[in-house]
A = this chain, B = another copy of it.
Amino acid sequence: MTADDARLVFAAARVARLATADARGVPHLVPLVFAVDGDVVVSAVDAKPKRTTALRRLANVRANPHVALLADHYDDADWAALWWVRADGTARVLEPGDAAARRGVALLRQRYAQYRERPPEGPVLEVAVTRWSGWRAR
């Protein structure tokens, strides 16, 4: 898959997983909803039940900006249908009041009805993608 194809496939996915790592290189992994804006992927910290996880993710990015995001398709009955796309890059945490954060939330609300009903109120994670890659079984 070319980088352009990977970006298109990633942008159309509804969920991705974010890998961060702390300053010692210990990885952390969470699923998230997101929006793609050119070579930027935005996501937001929303509800309180995920508070601890959210803090870990943000603390990691502040200590070590390198991140990876993955979207994939799995089909137990047909491994020929499998694909994945990955966005590698660097992240920064935007405080809710920030103009870029507001733009990110607007993009997320366009994509997800749940965010239109109730916008995410926490910080926004902005990933500047330096490499799009992907693989298809066929």
> Which residues of chain A have a CB within 8 Å of any CB of chain B?
14-15, 17, 19-31, 49-50, 53, 64, 66-70, 72, 74, 76, 79, 82, 84, 86, 88, 114, 135, 137
Check A135 against B74 for contact (C-beta < 8 Å): no
Residues of B near A22 (CB, < 8 A) are 25
Known: A53-B135, A74-B14, A76-B14. A19 touches B29 (CB 8 A): yes
The count of identical subunits is: 2
Residues of B near A137 (CB, < 8 A) are 49
Check B25 against A68 for contact (C-beta < 8 Å): no
Q: A29-B69, A79-B114 are in contact. List 9 more A-B contacts (CB 8 A).
A: A14-B74, A14-B76, A15-B72, A19-B27, A24-B66, A26-B88, A27-B67, A28-B68, A28-B88
